[in-house]
Chain A
Amino acid sequence: MLTNGTPELQIDRKDSRLVLAHILFAFGALFLGGIAGLLQGLVRGGVVKLPAEIGYYQLLTAHGVLMALIFTTYFIIGFLISGVSKTTGGKLLPISRHLGWLGYGLMSTGTVVGTICILLNQATVLYTFYAPMKASPYFYIALALVVVGSWMSGFGMFYQFGYWKKLHKGKVTPLFAFMAVTTMLMWIVATLGVAAEVLLQLIPWSFGWVDTVNVMLSRTLFWFFGHPLVYFWLLPAYMCWYVVIPKIIGGKLFSDALARLAFILFLLFSIPVGFHHQLMEPGISPFWKFLQVILTFMVIVPSLMTAFSLFATFEQAGRALGAKGLFGWFRKMPWSDVRFFAPFAGMLTFIPAGAGGIINASNQMNAVVHNTLFITGHFHLTVATTVALTFFGVTYWLIPALTGRKLTARINKLGMIQTVVWLVGMFFMSGAMHTVGLLGSPRRTAYTTYENHPDAFLWMPYHVAMAIGGTILFIGILLLIVNIVLLFRAPRGQEEFPIAEANASAEAAPRLFERWGVLISLVVVLVLIAYMVPVLDMINNPVPGSKGFVTW
């Protein structure tokens, strides 16, 4: 469009820099975490043996932390900042941008310190850092810095959003910004739990200021955070599906109000449900587990609303292009556009992933799959495929949009290939994990033949399939890195930042959806109902405190 050599960026140049810093850090973590993942797969498959200086569980800690905590959080914050900037005027207020950089600095300090602790073998406690395994205090401090840093970026987004609202009194807020604020709000409430665990329990205990730790309470505080964590990964992917994808397929958002309602339901129901990760724990009475499982199943409602809304978006767009028949619209989708194909592959993967989640959360079936590789297979579908492929799909347009370059046909093609490689690798790795998990093979376990037990012998072929799938996935990561380098060398031009408009005939969102005080109060009420009695019980009638253990 512009030919004077300085193509227009999609958002302010300073904001672009902040976003790119986040995105590149995220992919650095993905690469390092991918090396660990590859080695894990090869070790479990009996293909390689680690040198004595590297422990399997040390690798597994690095993998979990770098993938599940660092890759995700950096990408999410970068993506949300970019969209908030884009939809609230194309430029962040200086305060918001400074908060973003402050957050980046804190998170990066935390990541570097935490990674050093893991590499020094001072923190081989896995990414869930369950007590009474005891890491170096600096590992916990590092995690706290990551969390506090993410809050700073969240506050920056809140400030920007509030400012937009002040300038546009009475107007409905931009959907992307609304979703970003809802996501960060949920994140801040959720991280209060893990912040309490780390600051009040683990750090004093790890420094030796107190001798023992209440393990039951620490696990409960962890999972108060741990379940909403998975929605913190998922909601930004939904934002791409709701707001970005309709534009890419040449359609409209099915319903702005429905999308907002779904996000509000996620805000309400993704927090008071952590006990579904503790169904097999003896210290919580069945009544409270039951209540939280019911609340967990409430999350199915907005999930299915999302599925409906996406199908409807596709069908309407396809029919507008002349599609006929029951499923003719399906063929009208832009299958060879990686900006669509990668997130779509993610959506499709979410069907078995979501079905698996309902199985995990069902008390009896949890007994079948708990702590088996089924769980690992499950979240490699949710976060490592659904979320990861959606983020990859976003990257293919976001980097050029931020650097004033074009996603070329060649990079698009390479992106398609990378997506297919990921799908194939995950089919083998996650498929094998699911199956062998149902046969009973435990997760978080280095290579072992269980003294040649016949059951464990049957698992071996699946562990080999995991190693093969993991190797293919690692090739997928390498291809992604190559593609990112190519994106930075792509010809200058203007790449769209796709933001869909709402369907004009749809209902407007009710005012209640923007009454943050009401929404936060509802969150607090639900949390109190689900957690107050059992947590007070854990504090007033504590299990015997445990000293720390270094198991590695």
Chain B
Amino acid sequence: MNDPNVIEPGGVEASADGPGDPGRRSDTVSPRSAVAEQITEFGRIPVGNVRCEDPFIIAENVNAYYGDIHAIRNVTLEIAKSEVIALIGPSGCGKTTFIRCLNRMNDSVEHARVTGRITLDGQDIYERGLDPVVLRARIGMVFQKPNPFPKSVYDNVAYGPRIHGLAADRAELDDIVHGSLERAGLLKEVKDRLDEPGTELSGGQQQRLCIARTIAVNPEVILMDEPCSALDPIATARIEDLIDELAEDYAIVIVTHSMQQAARVSRRVAYFHLGMLVEVDETDRIFTNPQHKLTEDYITGRIG
């Protein structure tokens, strides 16, 4: 969602940092460290509490690079089972990059590099022997733009269970597909259209189809990258309700540009700025009493 209150400070900086800018290597050091100073001006970052009870995902000192671009700087964050955590921050601050580290989607990006340690349920996900394919079946992801496959609604949802062999026969597959569509709140609308292409649904329906597709493989965590940015308020409200329901069973990490959305759906909020995690806290505290000046500036719309 395009919240008019959100000013994008990353814009100016990011463009000066763009790849191909000849003076990058030497030039970027000064503005970047200036920003770092500005961020730490109010003391150490991050402020708030990056730890949580009963952590399920633990990211320790994670750094991510795209070639020379240092997109994530030393981020440490814990995420609990069955909680919704919202990642907010100006455009280009690394929210997408961070959640793509969590399911190793950055593996397929050329020049991308991740350092640090991320564990899922105690297991290091960047460990040598670990198969990212298995990992991604445990950590589902919903993208900013709905991306249903050019297949029927049914086949879209059945795709994941099929490749993972989750259903023994057709009846079981039917159950999984219907159950997932039901949970995604889409079954009623598409009951008679299961054979039609998923790409012919409306945008909001497509996004719920993508959510259904994700929960059909029964993941433990769902990552959502601005899942409502292409949707109208009604479709957004439906997805937010859905997130509330799903939160009972899954850990959900949602990236959003809408403060209202973060306030509505999340239990904790993490504020990123220029690749750094600046503040993490309970949602109420962040929005009523932010500790860091940058966080306060951002949520009051003063950053720029």
| Binding partners A and B | no
Which positions in A face B, CB cutoff 8 Å? none
